Amino acid sequence: MNDKTDLVNNGDRNKIYFLIVVIAALLGTNAYLFFKDKHESQRFVNVNTEKDRLELEVEKIEVELDKVNSINVSLNDKLIDEQRMARKKIAQLKQALQKGLLTQEELANVQNQVRELREFLQNYNEDIMKLKRENFHLKSEMDSLESYALTTSHEAEALAKRNTELNAKIRTSAALKASNIVVTAFKIKSSGKNVEVTKANTTKKLTVTFEIVPNQLAAKDYHQIYLRIFNPSGNLIADDANMFEADGQEMQFTIATSISFNDDNTAYKMDWINPGPFVKGVYAIILYADGYTMGRASIDLR
């Protein structure tokens, strides 16, 4: 009886032990699966968090690249190529990060590329700043050259103006000036003899005598002398074809002659025979030489 009871108890105990082992195995399996799922879930969260961070980093890099390019600097070919490659890389990274889940290997690759892109942006920014400084120095040099050229141009213009004024003064100073100008009226007898008169109705010609003021600057050479005669009404007596230039303008002359000037106090004279009759009143004369007025005089015919 006792032996049978012992056999039953031993069988029940074996079942109990088996159930305990099975339960323990199930608990272990559930614990493994729980911790495994928890780890995978945490890994998925970590991967997505890093993915979001990388997307934000790529956006920041693109914004900074736009900011660098907003600087008013003309890029050389090297910088243009580098910028094109950087934007291509940004587009590739954006496309990669817009995928669903990333493997650890893909994520690590993206992290390396973002790090390289960040280093590129730093070097690119330094190159832009260097180019900007070089352009600034170049612009400063060009501004200095333009300022120097402008100053030189103004100085040259001022010098040319002074030279023109000086040359004008020299020409004026070198021009002949008449002194002791006397106008005399004559009648001409049938014998050809000239007799001085004072009445208009007997006057046939006017003689203008003059001397030249001593002038060391005047050329000792032949000089053309022009004479203009105005009747009592103030009208110039001249031929339309007789033209010359003096005092900065073109004008007509009555008669002209050439004299030899040697700065030796020589006296000169010019005769003018009136083709028409003289009238009562004052006849005025003006002498010109070397483009300037030499002197003036007049005669009153009664």
State which of 82, 112, 134 marks the end of a domain: 134
Query: Which pLDDT belongs to residue 42?
Result: 44
Query: Which pLDDT belongs to residue 101?
Result: 55
Q: Is the pLDDT of residue 35 over 60?
A: no
Instruction: Calculate the alpha carbon distances from 212 to 180, 247, 262, 290 in Å.
Output: 9, 19, 10, 13
Residues 16 and 115 in one domain: yes
Question: Which of the pair, 241 or 81, is modelled with greater confidence?
Answer: 241
Structure tokens at 177: 């000036």
Give the tens place of pLDDT for each residue, 189-220: 988 899 999 999 999 999 999 999 998 888 88
State which of 134, 153, 168 marks the end of a domain: 134
Q: Which domain holds residue 215?
A: 178-301
Residues 118 and 209 in one domain: no
Give the tens place of pLDDT for each residue, 139-190: 788 888 888 888 888 888 888 888 877 776 777 777 899 999 999 999 999 8
Q: Is residue 95 part of a domain?
A: yes
SS (H, E, C) the chain: CHHHHHHHHHHHHHHHHHHHHHHHHHHHHHHHHHHHHHHHHHHHHHHHHHHHHHHHHHHHHHHHHHHHHCCCCCCCHHHHHHHHHHHHHHHHHHHHHCCCCCCHHHHHHHHHHHHHHHHHHHHHHHHHHHHHHHHHHHHHHHHHHHHHHHHHHHHHHHHHHHHHHHHHHHHHHHCCCEEEEEEEEEEECCCCCEEEECCHHHCCEEEEEEEECCCCCCCCCEEEEEEEEECCCCCEECCCCCEEEECCEEEECCEEEEEECCCCCCEEEEEEECCCCCCCEEEEEEEEECCEEEEEEEEEEC
CA 116, 117, 119, 125: dihedral to nearest 10 degrees? 160
Residues 124 and 241 in one domain: no
Structure tokens at 220: 């000792």
Burial class (CB in 10 A: 0-12, 13-18, 19+), 204: middle
Residues 210 and 121 in one domain: no
Q: Is the pLDDT of residue 46 over 60?
A: no
Cα of 225 vs its chain's centroid, Å = 51
Residues 194 and 297 in one domain: yes
Residues 6 and 129 in one domain: yes
Residues 191 and 130 in one domain: no
Q: Is residue 184 part of a domain?
A: yes
Give percent of the chain above pLDDT 70.
73
Mean pLDDT, the chain, integer: 78
Q: Which of 92-96, 97-101, 291-295 has the lowest mean pLDDT?
A: 97-101
What is the domain-level CATH number for residue 282?
Answer: 2.60.40.2560
Q: Is residue 158 part of a domain?
A: no
Give percent of the chain above pLDDT 90.
33
Residues 19 and 128 in one domain: yes
Decide if 233 contacts 284 (C-beta within 8 A): no
Q: Is the pLDDT of residue 301 over 90?
A: yes
Question: Which of the pair, 75 or 152, is modelled with greater confidence?
Answer: 152
